[in-house]
Structure 1
């Protein structure tokens, strides 16, 4: 017999009078336990009869019973399909699992709300969401051409596994880019390509953390995905306060071995780590045999005076891991980031990457390498800087003019968002409510905090919202607060 069902059927001998009943029962059981999936088409009665060695009337009778019971849906002129059945599994139902996934078979770290991502928010395309660049001004035609070139080259030469560290040409391009844009001194050998900054955090957590022992200082408030990566690796997180000079270095506990910081544009307050504290942080790391993770997530966009040197630039002792991403300068779905690692950690970091992910995809790596090498990234950043600067000025002026009675802008000269402190904490609740109603995508810094507490500031992104829309939204928020 040629099989027509994805499982064996055992039928009684012909002439027993129970062929149709047996076929019906076995097909019904297959529907209930999922062997016949919802929406799958049953073989035609003629094909089933021929394959099973029974009369067509036997199959028609079995199918008709399944239709009558609601297990199969007939379709005029087409094959019948299996219906969606609420309780498909036979036997004892699985034990109920709460919305917090409290199942003792799971690692406790993945059972907590702190570690689980929230569902994507439904936001309008033009909004105050943080960390999203404007795709309308991206050179799509250039990217399509470079991707096509990369695909043609890949089809000829790149069917094998590429290096875990990343394609050599992309690593070379990144080294030249960060040297030009941020004065980060490095060579191709120092660069490891990652699937975005979040994979960089995960790899560094695997590399640097001894579970249950290593203390990692994180900014409070700070970037939640970084905290999640280190918590999942078993680190003991130490939340550190942030003020107008950035991370409060003088309060670091003596036994901290990893310090994570966003010195160019603190996430989410936007302040820059002062030169005094940069020097103090490097001295702390040198004296305590610690390392520093420098997350420079949107350092390409500067709107003020000459930026302070990167920590990696000031480092003379191999203390700093410099982390960058192209999600802000280009687009998030590119999923390309990188780590500039000290020489002593390069081989071990490459081993971690190889174990965790083997390699990033070669097609977008090659396209990105060409995009950087041919000057398109630098031109795109130069093109976008005045566009973002106009929006930043509209946001800065609007916050001061429309909402100055409630909010105080926190000084910031980089990135794609601004933050503003709430002047009177007792009004925080109604201010946050007005923010959600009138400026979709904006967030409270409480959303970035590890410790519970009242909102202290609001953050407004200007990457995907035009200047005139910013003004209208802030005027609506003012009217809301005056009610």
Structure 2
């Protein structure tokens, strides 16, 4: 067993000017030396008295550091012999470079194939790097009724009930689900009761739960082409095989989907406001889709992400309301209609699937946070939500109109404007000679956060374009932003 002489020089240094206490500096210095294997198992340590002399500090912080290291198992004390590095610690050091392991060698870092499909720590795309003109999914948060919201948060925070502080239902806070069910039945024509609603942290978690319950590895899933990349990522990470199905003015081409993969396990659709092109799934296509799901035993994942905002007519009723065979999982969120950081969404489940979803949810994160559900309950039942929606529809209609007029005035026939009837974004389709990624990258350097259309395709993009959000940009600033965008194009 190796033993250092009693008078060994200290391997650490202390800085009296540091805000870190002296005992902590000594403790961290020795712990780091042991972890890095500069001190090995069984090596003898200097006495606290001699170490204090060497470091020129009081013996008290040395004693405190040694006591902590003894308690954590880095040191061991031997009666009559002194203090030693614990003999139970491994003697071998870590691999010389753990970041570049060789397959089959010690220290190999094994990761799941599911995570590999998303790529290696990709940075944010340039068009996602800021807040301002044309940023996608950016609501007018400055118009939110914060005074009302703050009073409701304070009300539930000052005198919380027991149910807000203890473990909750995997489905979510019951009063909130009852208020939400009433809203969905009247405003979205969704067939549901509170017992069928599960509260989630957003549409991404709803898709993750759905994938865990409904899909197996390599299960084929219809995906709108072009479509929502976030859904593609979640379902692909779950091991599903994406089947791109083209969309047109009537939404998803169900006949093309059947031709490509009639036995798909599920279909992901945005029927009320197709993302990103903005179309609405026609009545004939809706019935055709439901008929296919019933005949094939497939599931339909209906993402109703911003259907509350429709400008030329009343909101389109949910596909789920037409479902007579319980094949549709309806997904909604408050991220667009209130604010994204709220992180509250919901799913309406077929009654026979509720037990399975509850069991999977319990295994994932037990239950959703309760406080904001209680606040939202009051926000819904006291009429604040309805008033806010009315105000936002008028505001976004104005901003939409200004953006369309500005695009036509500045760019004319260069762009074809799509999807102006609803939502918080539209598409400016470009002639095929344009490279929309390059345009979006250049625009980002000018502080314009236009998203290219081509990344929304699973296969080769058939047309370039820019997805322009208008929810978070004041109408007075839109014309100048379009003029700057014209220069970039």
**Equivalent residues in 2 for 1:55-454 (5 A)?**
56-60=52-56, 92-97=95-100, 105-113=110-118, 118-119=123-124, 123-154=129-160, 156-212=162-218, 214-252=219-257, 253-422=261-430, 424-428=431-435, 431-432=439-440, 435-436=443-444, 440-453=448-461
Q: Residue deviations 1:190-229, cap 9 Å, x none? A: 11100111100000000100223x2111112211221122
Whether the 8 Å contact between 1:164 and 1:359 is mirrored in structure 2 is yes
**Residues 1:235 and 1:480: Cα distance change in structure 2 (over 3 Å):** closer
Gap change, CA 1:316 and 1:265, over 3 Å in 2: same
In the alignment, what sits opposite 2:82? none
Report SS of the residue matched to 1:382.
helix
Alignment CA distance shift 1:185-1:28 (3 Å): closer
1:462 is the counterpart of 2:470: yes
Gaps of 5+ in 1: 1-9, 37-48, 64-88
Q: 1:307 to 1:134 in 2, by over 3 A?
A: closer
| CA–CA distance in structure 2, aligned partners of residues 117 and 371 of structure 1 | 38
Shift, 1:367, TM fit: 0.9
> Cα offset for 1:447?
2.2
Q: Are residues 155 and 119 of structure 1, via their aligned partners in 2, closer, same or farther at CA, if it must alter by over 3 Å?
A: farther
| TM, length-normalised to structure 1 | 0.80
Measure how far apart 1:19 and its partner are. 4.6
In 2, Cα distance between the equivalents of 1:159 and 1:120?
Answer: 39
CA deviation vs aligned residue, 1:431-464 (integer Å, no higher than 9, x gap): 5566445572211111222234465221100111
Relative to the length of structure 2, the TM-score reads 0.79
Structure 1 position 21, deviation (Å): 4.4
Change (3 A) 1:287 1:26: closer
SS at match of 2:244: strand
The change in CA–CA distance for 1:27 and 1:469 in structure 2 (over 3 A counts) is closer
Q: Is the 8 A contact 1:23 1:62 kept in 2?
A: no
Contact 1:110 1:116 survives alignment (8 Å): no
CA separation of 1:438/1:470 partners in 2, compared to 1, >3 Å: closer, same or farther? farther
Counterpart of 1:473 in 2: which secondary structure? helix
TM-superposition CA deviations, 1:56-98 (whole Å, max 9, x none): 42332999xxxxxxxxxxxxxxxxxxxxxxxxx9653333359
Q: Could you say which residue in structure 2 is the equivalent of 1:52?
A: 48
Q: Is the 8 A contact 2:222 2:243 kept in 1?
A: yes
**2:335–2:344 CA contact under 8 A, matched in 1:** yes
| Cα distance in structure 1, aligned partners of 2:36 and 2:471 | 49
Change (3 A) 1:226 1:241: same
CA contact (8 A) 2:300 2:329 kept: yes
Q: Secondary structure at the match of 2:476?
A: helix
Instruction: Give, in angstroms, the shift of residue 127 of structure 1.
Output: 2.0
The equivalent residue for 1:472 is 480
The answer to which of 441-450 and 130-139 deviates more is 441-450
Is residue 391–residue 467 contact of structure 1 (8 Å, CA) maintained in 2? yes
* Residue 168 of structure 1: how far off its partner (Å): 0.3
Q: Is the 8 A contact 1:271 1:412 kept in 2?
A: no
